[in-house]
Amino acid sequence: MPTAKICGLTTEASLDAAIAHGASHVGFVFFPRSPRDIDPDRAAALIARTPPRVAKVGVFVDPDDALLTRAVAAGVDTIQLHGSETPERVAAVRARYALPVWRAVAVRTREDLGAAAKYRGAADLILYDAKPPRGADLPGGLGLRFDWRLLQGHVHPLPWALSGGLDAASVGEAVQVTGATLLDVSSGVELSPGVKDVDKIAAFLQSVARS
Ligand SMILES: O=C(O)c1ccccc1NCC(=O)[C@H](O)[C@H](O)COP(=O)(O)O
């Protein structure tokens, strides 16, 4: 059965809904420009109420080690790098913190998928996400999807997950088209950027469970 990461959580209510409805992963965004940005101290309080079975993913954009260290001290147990981190930087983060590291790969065309192979031996998982439009303020969490058919026949160099514009209505088709076993969502379970909705979280996780 597919599993899901609910990303960009900032409140107890939304975190509790994700846990209660079966999320395998919860995500905390440490990026000041994001409407979902969370301080490591606040994240620590949310992580403290998250059971061990649920992975706590910290999402970062070209972070320095000071921020990573604070987030790991807060309880982040998986590091998602969503900026322009090179394979060398990804490998260094993985070695330094001895935690699983995910690398986001931005996809618009089939050629974009080629970037994933560069992270073999450096990352633990590739997160395919939609490529943001030129000049976008954020590299992720934009509610945009890419053509899922691009993943058909793609030889995945690493374990992988799918994100970008998913919601309760579309996630079943996304699983059917791509065969994804881990689905990541942010905007699709929100009322507005950064404002999560517990009913949308429940509906998304129910759709994933049915897929
Ligand atoms: O969500 C953000 O604000 C964000 C900011 C900077 C880098 C990454 C960010 N999100 C990363 C995620 O893992 C999102 O869940 C993923 O991009 C999908 O988002 P959405 O299309 O909104 O479901």
CA-to-CA distance for 156 and 51, rounded, in angstroms?
31
In the chain, the largest separation of any two C-alpha atoms, in whole Å, equals 43
Query: In this model, does residue 194 exceed pLDDT 90?
Result: yes
Question: pTM (2 decimals)?
Answer: 0.96
Q: What is the model's pLDDT at position 211?
A: 93
Query: In this model, does residue 125 exceed pLDDT 90?
Result: yes
DSSP string, 139-184: SS-S-----GGGGTT---SS-EEEESS--TTTHHHHHHHH--SEEE
7 carries an active-site annotation: yes
129 carries an active-site annotation: yes
Q: Model confidence over 11-47: pLDDT tens digits? A: 999 999 999 999 999 999 999 999 999 999 999 999 9
73 C-alpha vs ligand 1 centroid, how far in Å? 22
182 in ligand 1 pocket by Cβ < 6 Å? no
Please give the share of the chain, as a percent, with pLDDT higher than 70: 100
Query: In this model, does residue 81 exceed pLDDT 90?
Result: yes
Ligand 1 closest atom vs CA 185: 23
Q: What is the model's pLDDT at position 27?
A: 98
Q: Model confidence over 146-193: pLDDT tens digits? A: 999 999 999 999 999 999 999 999 999 999 999 999 999 999 999 999
Question: Across residues 120-140, what is the average pLDDT?
Answer: 96
* Sign of the alpha-carbon dihedral angle for 53, 35, 180, 109: negative
138 in ligand 1 pocket by Cβ < 6 Å? yes
Give residues with Cβ within 8 angstroms of 90, minimum separation 6: 81, 101, 103, 119, 122, 123
Residue 55's DSSP bridge partners are 25
Cβ-contact 161, 7 below 8 angstroms: no
ipTM: 0.98
Find out if CATH 3.40.50.720 is the number for domain 3-210. Answer: no
Query: In this model, does residue 198 exceed pLDDT 90?
Result: yes
Q: Which of 14, 26, 30 lies closest to 83, judged by CA?
A: 30
Question: Across residues 119-131, what is the average pLDDT?
Answer: 97
| Domain segments of the chain as ranges | 3-210
